[in-house]
Amino acid sequence: MNEFNYRDGQLYAEDCKVSDIVAEVGTPVYIYSQKTLERHFNVFDGAMGGLDHLICFSVKSNSNLAVLRLFANLGGGADIVSGGELFRCLKAGMEPNRVVFSGVGKTREEIRYALESGIMMFNVESEMELEEIQRVASEMGKIAPISFRVNPDIDPKTHPYISTGLKKNKFGVEVKQAVELYRKAAGMDAIEILGIDCHIGSQLTTLSPFEETVLKLREIVEDLEREGIQIRWIDLGGGLGITYNDETPPSPEAYAKTVRKAAEGMSQGFIFEPGRVMAGNAGILVTRVLYVKQGPVKTFIVVDAGMNDMVRPSLYGAYQEIQPVVASDAKIVADVVGPICESGDFLAKEREVPNAKPGELLSVMSAGAYGFTMASNYNSRPRPAEVMVNGEDYFVIRRRETYEDLVRGEQIPPWLS
């Protein structure tokens, strides 16, 4: 469910007419519904009711300060994968002790920054990283709270690029090695063992991989307890899928039920790192049709948003629903393509799409997660504006980039002058 619906033939974001927003802000533009974001958070949070838990929103899915502030106000934390994401969280007013830091390549500077800021814990992904964190924390006279990210070798049955919990993936440590690393960490003076962590993939549409994961982590936790190593938090990562097209992902309630059942009788608290399920269907990308081009074998609808603005179709062959902003039943089989000089630049391929004419607006649905955050300046295109809607109000939460923004920081060496 989301707040992008038609009224009198016009697409609305909550109580704002999308074409009115575009008239002021232009295209392409990302539009997020605050109500939808709130509802997604509250439904997830409610489903976990009674379970000691913390929701750490995955910042890489949507890192706008306004979105982070909203989740912070609702009592959420954050899952970050870089120092830049930590900076955003702090700027947005998020409690540092609700921030967990994942990722295989944390630099010394990032580790120092996270320790200075007082984050909740590091999700450690290798032995060398553990040693680096011990070294930096020790130099700073601090204790670093950690968990190990375990790679349980579970197939999430999703796109290979977003599977992360298989033996062949770069993420986490093997189960056997994890136990050895916990023993090693227990003997380190600047390390505090706080949790165990896992993230097996994204856009999961079945519950069994989650169940297997909890059972596997449970075994490890119980083994560690027998050795006198106590685990306070079990971090299950993110990964719950959403409906882009005809997927039927489990509801947060069903997910919560699975977790509860697999974790029955355990004393640990649970951390969740949802991204897509919070933000995905809370956003759209609105683009304007520039030209319609009839090729020898195909029709192309050329729009002003390209793979630099929304890369999921090009990168993963992902399906993004495309709807007209002024309701119409007229359909055509076409490719919806952007202006980028790459044949992989498309938003939809050989699909039935609205038969939109030049000047008309199209809405790329389910664009709230991994949309703007994956946008780039490829082809020297300024990145789109972002707008948040709240009832009848809307606010530009990131202004459209300018040409000056494109060259910020660039310099011509004096010998070329």
Q: Which residues contribute to the site for ligand PLP (CB under 6 A)? A: 58, 60-61, 79, 81, 102, 199, 202, 237-240, 273-277, 369
Report the amino acid identity of residue 268.
Q
Following DSSP, what letter does each residue of 346-404 receive, concatenated? EEEEEEEEE-PPTT-EEEE-S-SSSSGGG---TTT-PPPEEEEEETTEEEEEEPPP-HH
The distance of closest approach from Cβ of residue 413 to ligand PLP in the complex, given in angstroms and rounded to an integer, is 38
Of 313, 312, 285, residue with least CA distance to 27: 285
The two tokens of residue 154 are: 């579970």
Report the amino acid identity of residue 139.
E
Of the pair 209, 354, the CB lying nearest ligand PLP is at 209
The distance of closest approach from Cβ of residue 163 to ligand PLP in the complex, given in angstroms and rounded to an integer, is 11
The distance of closest approach from Cβ of residue 85 to ligand PLP in the complex, given in angstroms and rounded to an integer, is 11
Of the pair 203, 390, the CB lying nearest ligand PLP is at 203
Helix (H, G, I), strand (E, B) or coil at 202: coil
Q: Is 56 a catalytic residue?
A: no
The distance of closest approach from Cβ of residue 202 to ligand PLP in the complex, given in angstroms and rounded to an integer, is 3
Burial class of residue 25, CB neighbours in 10 A (0-12, 13-18, 19+): buried
The distance of closest approach from Cβ of residue 59 to ligand PLP in the complex, given in angstroms and rounded to an integer, is 9
Distance CA 78, CA 92 (A): 11
If you ran DSSP here, which 8-state letter would residue 231 be given?
-
Catalytic residue, candidates 16, 56, 89, 341: 341
Of 152, 67, 80, residue with least CA distance to 110: 80
Of the pair 274, 324, the CB lying nearest ligand PLP is at 274
Of the pair 68, 277, the CB lying nearest ligand PLP is at 277
The distance of closest approach from Cβ of residue 346 to ligand PLP in the complex, given in angstroms and rounded to an integer, is 23
- Note the Cα 209 to chain centre separation in Å: 20
Distance CA 239, CA 156 (A): 9
Tokens 């319609």 belong to 292
Of the pair 172, 354, the CB lying nearest ligand PLP is at 172
Of the pair 62, 287, the CB lying nearest ligand PLP is at 62
- Answer whether 302's CB lies under 8 Å from 358's CB: no
Query: What are the φ and ψ backbone dihedral angles of 101, each rounded to 5 degrees?
Result: -115, 110
Q: Catalytic residues, which ones?
A: 341
